[in-house]
Structures are given as structure tokens and as C-alpha cells.
A and B are shown apart, each in its own frame.
Chain A
């Protein structure tokens, strides 16, 4: 299987919360990231979490990390049409800052 896995699509209604899930295989992962790719653009770091943290909140974004299950999630509160994009989960290990990316989840926000 792949090192970082995530579902390919998620559709939500505007104003609802979105939860994008990711699983990874490497227990030595030190940094876990969420990148956002808007149409026609490159990836942009949205948020990250260190492996010694369980949760990180940044305005409408909440990242939850379950190290035991190697599960990472990104919750977007009050999802807006501008949040429509592809969201990539990524991880890197201590001593290496090179991320391994998942295949990305396309978030579709409809009115």
C-alpha cells in the first residue's frame, strides 16, 4: 500500500464542517502537514502538526492526530466555496524534511 492514504473526494454543503482524513504508515513520522492546491496553482502549506501533539487549531482549521492509529484529520469549520480545492496530507521523518504526499482529496463545496 501507499505510505500516505486519503480518500479522493469529499462533497459538502456550504456552511457545514468538512473533515478530511488521512492515514500514514511510518511510525517515525515527525511532521505531518496539510497542503492546499487551488485550481491551476501549486501546493501551499495550510497547516502542520508535530508528532508530539494531539491537536492544533488555527481559526477555522482543526488538525487532529492519533499516533496510535497513524491517523490525521483536517476539519474545516463553516466551509465556504473558496475552500474548494485539493487537500494533500503529507508526512516527513525526523532528520529528513522531505515530505511524502498522499494523492490528495478533492473538496467540493456546493451551495
Chain B
């Protein structure tokens, strides 16, 4: 299996632009997680889905952030409009529902100037 796939790996954008991060979970996994990693805050859980349904989005920092999972093999995290403080590494992870092990993608490094 190719593992969790994220794209792009790097994204540089200007403040005010819309950013869309993409994730393809491991085939057969039915839980998907979005995390943000910064030096200041460490690793934060933003939102997670079970069977394509958002379960907990309490970690989403602001209304500028939104996430969707239209099917079992694809999810997006969108930031509109982006701000410099959104600069971070964004990870997607997937797992089997109820399993303790999460499989992380390689991350998307976002820089907002």
C-alpha cells in the first residue's frame, strides 16, 4: 500500500489567498484525521471523520478553515482567506475505526507570506 498520500507537499501562498490541502487515506481505512503542527503549539487535532462524516471539528481554529470528505478515498482542508499565522505543517492521518494506530501522511508544509 502507498500509505496516506498528501498533496501538495509544499505550498507557498500570499496572505488572503485560498489554500486547499488534499489527502488520500489508506484504502479500507474509515477514520481520517487532520492535524496541524507548529513549534508554538505542537501537534493539534483539527477535525476527524468516521465513515466520511465529520465527528469533531472543535479543533478547527476559525471559520476560515473548512474540511470535507466527499468519499472514502479523498478529503480536503481549505483555508480561505489564508493568513501568515496559518503557516504550519498540516498532516492527514487515517486508521481503521476503533483502532488505536493512526497512519500519518508525509504532511504539507504551508507558508503564507
Mark A residues whose CB is within 8 Å of B: 31, 33, 40-45, 48, 88, 92, 97-99, 101-104
Contacts and interface: CB of A to CB of B under 8 A. Distances in A.
Nearest to B96: A97
A41 B106 contact: yes
Interface string B74-113: 0000000000000000010101001111101111000000
A92 B48 CA distance: 15
A61 to B, nearest CB: 16
A92 B100 contact: yes
B50 to A, nearest CB: 10
Contact of B43 (A44, A45, A88): A88
A34 to B, nearest CB: 12
A109 B105 CA distance: 25
Most buried by A among B4, B43, B48, B91: B43
A42 B100 contact: no
Given A97-B99, A98-B48, A42 B104 contact: yes
Contact of A99 (B4, B42, B102): B102
When A and B form their complex, which 9 residue pairs have the shortest distance between CB atoms, in order from nearest? A42-B104, A103-B42, A43-B104, A101-B43, A45-B101, A31-B100, A97-B100, A42-B105, A42-B106
B106 A98 contact: no
B42 A40 contact: no
Nearest to B55: A98
Contact of A98 (B4, B45, B105): B45
